[in-house]
């Protein structure tokens, strides 16, 4: 049979290579646990953590509960594991399901001595009275059935987060189930270096004293962390209002939200004196306060003083524009020429993310000034190919492509002047 290639010689190329992007609506809760051998796992409800063996008093469960209690709520939340160095199981009778790194599941049921004898030597299990100790517990999961379980760790949060991000780094929001000052400062430094948004809470009343500069909010502000936001909460020992606020705001597209004036479900609000609020606000510390019959968040800034929503939108726009321009370079027809036409292709790729930013509410739409002159949403500046030196062209690197955009911002406070009269 004759081939149709004689008549029509057809080649179809695929210009469809996708660029992986980060999700700016995914949050991670990190803590010390042995519920899974994985460094990170997705859950769709807080109850899943109970099914995995965590107790209702566990800080990770409390954080997840706060997140999933909001309306609207996130479809999923990630949990990250700080590895336990040692795990102890205590009781006259001990029962547990132990998952080894290989995936093999061992069931132990009996005395501590019987449990230790049933475990592989690599775990360095030993028994002392009613206590079973597993000395090499970093990569195992334990679901207790009978007896009490306790975990201890030597792994730093920096090391834990570095391992978690290796397992999957597309998430953006970060909460840790530990408010120890040294931990908060450590995680804040990590978040700043790894382009993550970190929320924490404190019950330290020194935050409410403007003359004191030794509290965690002041220390974070002094460090000028743009990707960490502190919240004051008198019940921070057991409540996770930072997880609640993050989950609430992550249901909006980046640029479509503000972190102030938000109602939080399942979180007790504070009743602060005006001077206490002013002191906390002066330290860029968000609060959750009662206003007569309702409660709202106040503040909504990062420790460095920038609005949280602006940082989130900036990070999203950087990620989106970078991906769009890379897509144009990778999927160009043969090449992007170093000509006016090629420069325009890349400028148009930049425009896609800017237009999306307008639709999402982060960038202001076109508006009119007092003279009815159009104020553009954004401006893209591109050089003419003829203005670029031959040496720069030879390097095949395009400089001087840029522009600017107007943030839409948000209204938090309204000041009204009004008068009444007979004329």
Measured CA angle at 11 (ends 7, 17), to 5 deg: 165
Per DSSP, what are the bridge partners of residue 250? none
Given a cut of 90, whether residue 356 has pLDDT beyond it is yes
**Which of 91, 185, 84 shows the shortest CA–CA distance to 131?**
91
DSSP, res 307: B
Q: Name the nearest CA neighbour of 133 among 153, 106, 113.
A: 113
Q: Is the dihedral of CA 321, 327, 332, 334 positive or negative?
A: positive
| pLDDT for the residue 302 | 98
**Distance (Å, whole) CA 86 – CA 125:** 10
pLDDT of residue 357: 97
What is the pLDDT at residue 9? 77
Tell me whether strands 131-134 and 77-82 are parallel, antiparallel or unpaired: unpaired
CA distance 318 to 254: 12
Q: What is the pLDDT of residues 320-347, one digit of tens each?
A: 999 999 999 998 878 999 999 999 999 9
DSSP tag of 206: G
Model pLDDT for residues 102-128, shown as the tens digit of each residue: 999 999 999 999 999 999 999 999 999
Burial of 271 (0-12, 13-18, 19+ CB in 10 A): exposed
Beta carbons within 8 Å of 21's beta carbon, 6+ residues apart: 170, 319, 320, 323
Total-model pTM: 0.94
**CA distance readout (Å), 392 to 330, 340, 400:** 21, 15, 11
- Residues 40, 58: Cα–Cα separation, whole Å: 17
Q: Over 90: is that where the pLDDT of 303 sits?
A: yes
Residue 221 CA to residue 303 CA, distance in Å, equals: 5
> DSSP per residue over 249-300, as a string?
HTTSPTTS--SSS---TT-PPB---HHHHHHHHHTT-BEEEEETTEEEEE--
Whether the pLDDT of residue 275 is over 80: the answer is yes
Given this model, what pLDDT does residue 106 score?
95
- The arithmetic mean of pLDDT across residues 366-393, rounded, is 95
Which helix (H) or strand (E) segment is 144 a member of?
strand 141-152
Q: Would you say residue 422 lies in a domain? A: no
Residue 140 lies in a domain: yes
285 pLDDT above the threshold of 90: yes
- Rg (C-alpha) for the chain, rounded Å, is 27
CA–CA distance, 175 with 403 (Å, rounded to integer): 34
Q: At residue 15, does pLDDT exceed 80?
A: no
pLDDT at 3: 81
In a domain, 250, yes or no: no
- The CA distance from 143 to 276, in Å, is 44
Give the domain range for residue 125.
86-152
Quote the CA–CA distance of 256 and 233 in Å, as a whole number. 26
Share of the chain above pLDDT 70, in %: 97
Question: Given pLDDT bands bounded at 50, 70 and 90, which one contains residue 13?
Answer: low
pLDDT tens track for 191-225: 999 999 999 999 999 999 999 999 999 999 999 99
pLDDT, residue 293, reads 92
- Tally the domains of the chain: 1
Residue 104 lies in a domain: yes
What's residue 385's pLDDT? 96
Region 296-309 average pLDDT:
98
pLDDT number for residue 346: 96
- Looking at residues 352-369, what average pLDDT do you find? 96
In a domain, 118, yes or no: yes
- The kind and range of the H/E element at 341 are helix 340-360
- 115 domain-assigned: yes
Q: Phi/psi zone of residue 295: left (φ > 0), alpha (ψ -120 to 50 degrees), beta? A: beta
How many alpha carbons fall within 13 Å on the CB side of residue 310?
Answer: 15
At residue 19, does pLDDT exceed 70? no
- The pLDDT assigned to 21 comes to 72
pLDDT of 40 reads 97
Residue 313 and residue 169: Cα distance in Å, rounded? 18
pLDDT exceeds cutoff 90 at 402: yes
Give tens-digit pLDDT for 243-273.
999 999 999 999 999 999 999 999 999 999 9
How far apart are the two ends of the chain, measured CA to CA in Å?
98
Cβ contacts of residue 239 below 8 Å, gap of 6+? Answer: 62, 66, 201, 233, 267, 268
Residues 271 and 398: their CA atoms lie apart, in Å, by 56
Asked if residue 146 is part of any domain, the answer here is yes
Question: Predicted confidence band at 130 (pLDDT cuts at 50, 70, 90)?
Answer: very high
Q: Residue 344: its pLDDT value, please?
A: 96
> Which helix (H) or strand (E) covers residue 104, if one does?
none
In a domain, 26, yes or no: no
According to DSSP, the β-strands at 27-32 and 77-82 are parallel
74 in helix, strand or coil?
coil
Residue-level pLDDT at 1: 77
């Amino acid at each position: 049979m004759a081939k149709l290639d004689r008549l029509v010689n057809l080649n179809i190329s695929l210009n469809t290579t996708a660029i992986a992007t980060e999700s700016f609506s995914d949050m991670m809760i990190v803590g010390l646990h042995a519920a899974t051998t994985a460094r990170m796992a997705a859950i769709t409800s807080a109850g899943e953590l109970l099914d995995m063996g965590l107790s209702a008093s566990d800080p990770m469960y409390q954080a997840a509960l706060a997140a999933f209690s909001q309306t609207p709520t996130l479809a999923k939340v990630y949990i990250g594991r700080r590895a336990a160095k040692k795990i102890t199981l205590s009781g006259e009778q001990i029962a547990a399901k132990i998952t080894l790194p290989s995936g093999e599941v061992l069931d132990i049921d009996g005395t501590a001595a019987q449990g230790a004898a049933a475990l592989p030597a690599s775990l360095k299990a030993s028994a002392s009275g009613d206590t079973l100790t597993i000395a090499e517990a970093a990569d195992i999961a334990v679901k207790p059935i009978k007896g009490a379980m306790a975990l201890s760790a030597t792994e730093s949060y920096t090391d834990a987060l570095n391992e978690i991000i290796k397992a999957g780094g597309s998430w953006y929001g970060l909460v840790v189930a530990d408010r120890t000052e040294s931990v908060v400062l450590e995680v804040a430094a990590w978040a700043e270096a790894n382009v993550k948004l970190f929320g924490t809470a404190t019950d330290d009343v020194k935050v409410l004293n403007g003359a004191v500069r030794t509290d965690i909010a002041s220390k974070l502000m002094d460090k000028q962390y743009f990707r960490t936001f502190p919240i004051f909460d008198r019940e921070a020992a057991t409540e996770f209002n930072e997880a609640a606020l993050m989950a609430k705001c992550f249901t909006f597209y980046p640029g479509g939200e503000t972190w102030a004036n938000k109602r939080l479900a399942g979180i007790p609000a504070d009743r602060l004196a005006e001077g206490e609020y002013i002191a906390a606000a002066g330290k860029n510390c968000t609060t959750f306060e009662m206003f007569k019959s309702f409660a709202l968040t106040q503040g909504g800034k990062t420790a460095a003083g920038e609005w949280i929503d602006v940082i989130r939108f900036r990070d999203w726009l950087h990620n989106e524009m970078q991906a769009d321009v890379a897509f144009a370079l990778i999927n160009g027809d043969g090449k992007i020429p170093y000509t006016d036409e090629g420069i325009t292709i890349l400028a148009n790729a930049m425009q896609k993310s800017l237009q999306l930013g307008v639709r999402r509410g982060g960038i202001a739409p076109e508006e009119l000034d007092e003279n009815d002159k159009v104020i553009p949403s954004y401006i893209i500046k591109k050089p003419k190919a003829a203005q670029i030196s031959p040496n720069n062209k030879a390097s095949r690197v395009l400089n001087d492509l840029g522009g600017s955009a107007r943030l839409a911002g948000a209204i938090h406070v309204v000041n009204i002047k009004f008068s009444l009269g007979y004329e």
